[in-house]
Structure 1
């Protein structure tokens, strides 16, 4: 028999430490793996892969030696990241509920470090490759956001699914222009923003493994390929972070991370007016390919990938803001509010179409979390035989702006409130774990 549901819920708000590994030795090991792969490819008369150059350690001052977090905060981060992924088999099912399958996967050891629980180590319950990949996303995004908030304390940080953003400008599949498409792309774009200022974009690639550090080095080498596929402004100047999460059975979970420096600011061309974030970004048909000599006056050198040029920076800022708004709306279960922020190529129809009542998600529930009125949707399932209710939503005041298409108003309010949300992760009135993110999104769970 598993634990009682009430005990499982208490475990979800137990904070544990996750070790962070980022130093010159790690950067050197990844460089060695990349050099060996290049040599092997040349021996086979194949072109070496293009990787983000200059990967280096993230300074301790920006990350600490470890990060302390609860499993519930991790699942909230993972759910927000996956909400627009559309990877599930059931059309209309909320993607973010998939994170709840890890409710009992994480625990801790006597040294206060987070580990996989006995259930988390059971390959029958969780296919290892899927588990390591998905949990790797959660750990990576928690740390990436923490690093950027330390560096830019007066900014907000939004996580945008890179696939969703890129679809607004490029056709990512098919035969036309296939030679200049990149099959490996960043997994997420982190937008660092504040009202009235140009956004900064940081590319993120996340990997995970149950194997040894040598496997992590190979994964980080591959992650460097993912983040090299998108350039913003002058080629080579967009910053990136790559992550490899090591999930070694009963030993502590360790997150390995490196970064490549850069600017990544979406500066507007001289004379351009302010960007109206309420205006939906149009779909564009940009030909894929990156001209590495762009802006130098030299002969063009086009390679595979995607390039956001300065004349497109205003448009891309709207793409990011609307993709972020779509993710928040989807987290509440709102099909129509989500669809208004997506184009046809980004998956608007997925949220417009009628779905069966048993699988559809509808924004139809209102609760208060730590006294904050919230709007969202709920999901009921059994946890060790006990019925539990999970709720996902957004603070009511912010949701009203999102539902009405007021992206500018939402961003001004969310930015002002980002440091004021309750941090306590157990709400006695709700009687269960709650997590409130700086963007105003809420994830809560309790025994029904």
Structure 2
């Protein structure tokens, strides 16, 4: 498959938008792009690591592989799903954010615990509009990355097989994708496993769909349940030596704790509630990517926002005390006939140059999200990309996702 360094960084930036809650979140959300914009390159048509990225010391490589593994997994997973479902659009939602609205048993905890290590990274929320029907799917995604060896990536997939099976909807498991990327200087290879599952989340009339999304979902206080005896027999054993017979590499450093994981079981009658939670998280993610924390906050439930009595170690998604943290979104033209609302970050470079990173959402889509028109946004987002493919981008590197989010990176003179 074909991709680009900018596309990988774009997916990473969108996916990690909800992970930072502080007065400096607007600046911190640019960090993935600034830190990793010089790590990926194309050599003879193949994506690989730059020499500087390859020469990092071990503990920095661990962070780098984890972060780039997220971006690469999202690029690969969305491409796989586009081939399986050509007329669908998939949006990434942080699993912790979605689960926190329904479950009080540890979802959203900052601490690294035996339970949190067995949860998946993301949900890929699929939307399809045929004019007479609206349909939604959910695919569970676990992202892995390593510099060590292809054999190590195989072991990561074995551990991921446990993590993707911790969600059930109506007693049935959704399909899943596990992507482990092996990062090397001359080639990046992603290994994929795709266990099947019940992939329909919601199916109905467009008017019913829009009416459902207008209702605000309330927080539930469900608890996770341990895997029962029949389920426990299906949890795969993790083999430290998993992989091809000739693969070599050190023992995994992210080995899962022993025992079956806790299961997040969304009741069958709450499929509509779960659909609302996921689609509103999609909207909040896009707005936060554009720098509009104040509007994004309105799409979250009280527990997701941290408005309830704070629990020790729980993740707060929004921190809006300073007035300048509420929104920094401004309008910018990124291509012919294509404008976006978003935030601009500039960092000085040697020789009088500056690195300029812009993150945003296409202006029309931004307006729909700001007005609470989630259904209209889901329908219109892929159409914007088709129109943009016929446009001529401005200077620099431009990446436009099927969710309408936009990333541009360019080097300019500091006086510009």
Distance in 2, matches of 1:383 and 1:347, equals: 37
Q: Which position in structure 2 is the counterpart of 1:259?
A: 194
Do 1:365 and 1:378's aligned partners in 2 also have CA atoms closer than 8 Å? no
SS of 1:245's equivalent?
Answer: strand
How far residue 186 of structure 1 moved from its aligned partner, in angstroms, is 1.0
Across the two proteins, how many residue pairs are aligned to each other? 362
Task: Specify whether residues 239 and 390 from structure 1 end up closer, same or farther in structure 2 by C-alpha distance, changes over 3 A only.
Answer: same
Where in structure 2 are the equivalents of 1:95-110 lying within 5 Å?
95-110=29-44
Q: CA deviation at 1:324?
A: 0.3
- Aligned-residue CA RMSD (Å): 3.0
What secondary structure sits across from 1:169 in the alignment?
Answer: coil
Offset at residue 371 of structure 1 (A): 2.1
Q: 1:224 aligns with which of 128, 143, 161?
A: 161
Q: Look up the match of 1:372.
A: 338
Give the distance between the partners of 1:105 and 1:368, measured in 2 at CA: 24
Contact in 2 for aligned 1:321/1:407 (Cα 8 Å):
yes
Q: Give the match for residue 313 of structure 2.
A: none
Aligned with 1:185 (options 109, 114, 119): 119
- The SS at the match of 1:393 is strand
Q: How does 1:381-420 map to 2 (within 5 A)?
A: 381-384=347-350, 386-420=353-387
Which of 371, 389, 396 does residue 432 from structure 1 map onto? 396
1:347 paired to 2:305: yes
Q: For the residues of structure 2 that align with 1:268 and 1:376, how far apart are their CA atoms?
A: 33
1:152-206 C-alpha deviation (Å, 9 max, x unpaired): 11211111111111111012429xxxx9966411101011112432311110101
Q: Is the 8 A contact 2:227 2:263 kept in 1?
A: no
In structure 2, distance between residues paired with 1:86 and 1:276: 29
Q: Residue 79 of structure 1: SS of its match in structure 2?
A: helix
State whether residues 284 and 299 of structure 2, in contact with CA within 8 Å, keep that contact through their aligned partners in structure 1: yes
Q: 1:225 deviation in Å?
A: 1.3
The 8 Å contact of residues 284 and 296 in structure 2, kept in 1 or not, is answered as yes
Q: 1:160 to 1:206 in 2, by over 3 A?
A: same
Aligned with 1:150 (options 83, 87, 95): 83
Q: 2:63 aligned with 1:133, yes or no?
A: no
**CA–CA distance in structure 1, aligned partners of residues 263 and 219 of structure 2:** 18
1:212, 1:303 → 2: CA distance?
Answer: 27
Unaligned runs of 5+ in 1: 1-66, 295-301
Q: Which residue of 1 aligns with 2:289?
A: 331
Please list, as runs of the form range in 1=range in 2, the aligned pairs for 1:26-425 lying within 5 A after superposition. Answer: 67-86=1-20, 90-110=24-44, 112-123=45-56, 127-173=60-106, 183-195=117-129, 196-235=133-172, 237-248=173-184, 250-267=185-202, 274=209, 276-289=212-225, 304-347=262-305, 350-351=317-318, 353-355=320-322, 362-384=328-350, 386-422=353-389
* TM-score, normalised relative to structure 1: 0.74
Q: Secondary structure at the match of 2:304?
A: coil
Change (3 A) 1:180 1:131: closer
Cα deviation for residue 88 of structure 1 reads 7.9
Query: Where does structure 1 differ by over 4 angstroms across 4 or more consecutive aligned residues?
Result: 87-92, 179-183, 290-294
User: Within 2, Cα distance between the matches of 1:88 and 1:185?
Assistant: 24
Change (3 A) 1:371 1:126: farther
